[in-house]
């Protein structure tokens, strides 16, 4: 099986509010994106890493990983799903039978073991699967005015993480159809769900956080230092 990692890295990081896109902020010795790429490039099951970049990106070429033989770049799009789709278009031309392992640039703390676990889950989830973490707090459903309507059964709720692992061809067709139908798509699984596929859930580590707000930087640095 051929596995192509896809890294959406074309965002601007508006919630981080830094002077550059958050994936280029330093975390210890190197940038967030550099850590993320290292985790994927180091994995022997991954044949190629396709990074989707902002059309005006001026930082990527300065990363030491930018010249890696297993790495290639495409231009991303307006939304995360558009960036992923651009990379899938490229992957499809390379090998329509490949599997895509889509992983946010902003998740530098992903562990080697979780990537392996997800890839191996294909035997139980031939339709594809995602890393996810069970929610820990009691979950409430509210009405629009901010009052509690009910308590939601926590046992059935998960945080969707990345990587998310699907066949390139089916993910590409479902994602482009969902985008054309103006469905809100915030991860790959939502496009598959929209098309009637039920992706598997593979329990992953809680420290695989997405760096989103300034607070997350310290947390990610801590998790990184413990790896
Ligand atoms: N992403 C992308 N293309 C976009 C938007 C986002 O490739 N048009 C990427 C980001 O670079 C990030 C991942 O998708 O690695 C997850 O998105 P998010 O955390 O929302 O990052 P940003 O969109 O950059 O941040 P914000 O929403 O705060 O602006
Ligand atoms: Mg965003």
Q: Tens of pLDDT along 72-112?
A: 999 999 999 999 999 999 999 999 999 999 999 999 999 99
Any ligand 1 atom below 6 A from CB of 108: no
pLDDT at 185: 95
Q: Closest Cα to residue 168, out of 77, 97, 71, 93?
A: 97
Residue 186 has which token pair?
Answer: 């915030």
Section 120-126 average pLDDT: 98
Report yes or no: 88 and 100 within 8 Å, Cβ to Cβ. yes
Any ligand 1 atom below 6 A from CB of 14: yes
What would the pLDDT profile of 51-61 be if each residue is shown by its tens digit? 999 999 999 99
Ligand at minimal distance from the CA of 15 is 1
Distance in Å, CA 1 to ligand 2 centroid: 31
Ligand at minimal distance from the CA of 188 is 1
CATH no. of 3-225: 3.90.550.10
Domain boundaries, the chain: 3-225
Q: ipTM, 2 decimals?
A: 0.99
Distance in Å, CA 185 to ligand 1 centroid: 13
pLDDT exceeds cutoff 90 at 157: yes
Distance of CA 157 to the CA centre of its chain: 19
Section 25-30 average pLDDT: 96
Residue environment code for 14-44, b if the CB has 16+ CB neighbours within 10 A, otherwise e: eebeeeebbbbbebeeebbbbbbbebbbebe
Residue environment code for 125-136, b if the CB has 16+ CB neighbours within 10 A, otherwise e: beebbbbbbeee
pLDDT exceeds cutoff 90 at 1: no
Distance in Å, CA 221 to ligand 1 centroid: 19
DSSP letter (8 states) at residue 63: S
Residue environment code for 80-115, b if the CB has 16+ CB neighbours within 10 A, otherwise e: bbbbbbbbbebbbeeeeebbbbbbbbbbbbbbeebb
pLDDT at 34: 98
Q: Distance (Å, rounded) from C-alpha 152 to C-alpha 44?
A: 40
What would the pLDDT profile of 70-83 be if each residue is shown by its tens digit? 999 999 999 999 99
Distance of CA 51 to the CA centre of its chain: 11
Residues paired with residue 201 on neighbouring β-strands, in sequence order: 130
Mutate to test the pocket of ligand 1, among 6, 8, 9, 11 (most ligand atoms within 8 A of CB): 11
Residue 227 confidence class, pLDDT cut points 50, 70, 90: confident
Any ligand 1 atom below 6 A from CB of 185: no
Residue environment code for 146-164, b if the CB has 16+ CB neighbours within 10 A, otherwise e: eeeeeeeeeeeebebbbbb
Distance in Å, CA 209 to ligand 1 centroid: 14
Section 13-25 average pLDDT: 98
Q: Distance (Å, rounded) from C-alpha 88 to C-alpha 226?
A: 33
- Nearest-atom index, ligand 1, CA of 104: 15
Largest CA distance in the chain: 54
Q: Where are the alpha helices (DSSP H) in 128-187?
A: 168-180
SS3 content of the chain, % helix, strand, coil (to 5): 35, 25, 40
Any ligand 1 atom below 6 A from CB of 118: no
Computed over every residue of the chain, the mean pLDDT equals 97
Any ligand 1 atom below 6 A from CB of 76: yes
Mutate to test the pocket of ligand 1, among 80, 110, 214 (most ligand atoms within 8 A of CB): 80
Any ligand 1 atom below 6 A from CB of 105: yes
Q: Distance (Å, rounded) from C-alpha 171 to C-alpha 100?
A: 8
pLDDT exceeds cutoff 90 at 147: yes
Any ligand 1 atom below 6 A from CB of 85: no
């Amino acid at each position: 099986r051929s596995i192509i990692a896809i890294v959406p890295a074309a965002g601007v990081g508006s919630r981080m509010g830094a002077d550059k896109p958050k994936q280029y902020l330093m975390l210890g010795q190197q940038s967030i994106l550099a850590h993320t790429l290292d985790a994927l490039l180091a994995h022997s099951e991954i044949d190629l890493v396709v990074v989707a970049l902002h059309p005006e990106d001026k930082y990527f070429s300065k990363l030491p990983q930018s010249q890696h033989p297993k790495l290639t770049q495409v231009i991303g799009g307006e939304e995360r799903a558009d960036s992923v789709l651009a990379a899938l278009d490229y992957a499809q031309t390379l090998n329509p039978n490949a599997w895509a392992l889509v992983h946010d640039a902003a998740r530098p703390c992903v562990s080697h073991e979780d990537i392996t676990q997800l890839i191996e889950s294909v035997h139980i989830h031939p339709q594809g699967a995602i890393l996810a973490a069970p929610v820990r707090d009691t979950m409430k459903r509210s009405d629009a005015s901010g009052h509690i309507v009910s308590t939601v059964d926590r046992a059935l709720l998960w945080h969707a993480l990345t990587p998310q692992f699907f066949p390139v061809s089916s993910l590409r067709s479902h994602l482009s159809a969902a985008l054309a139908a103006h469905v809100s798509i915030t991860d790959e699984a939502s496009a598959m769900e929209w098309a009637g596929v039920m992706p598997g859930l593979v329990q992953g580590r809680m420290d695989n956080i997405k760096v989103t707000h300034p607070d997350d930087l310290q947390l990610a640095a801590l998790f990184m230092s413990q790896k």
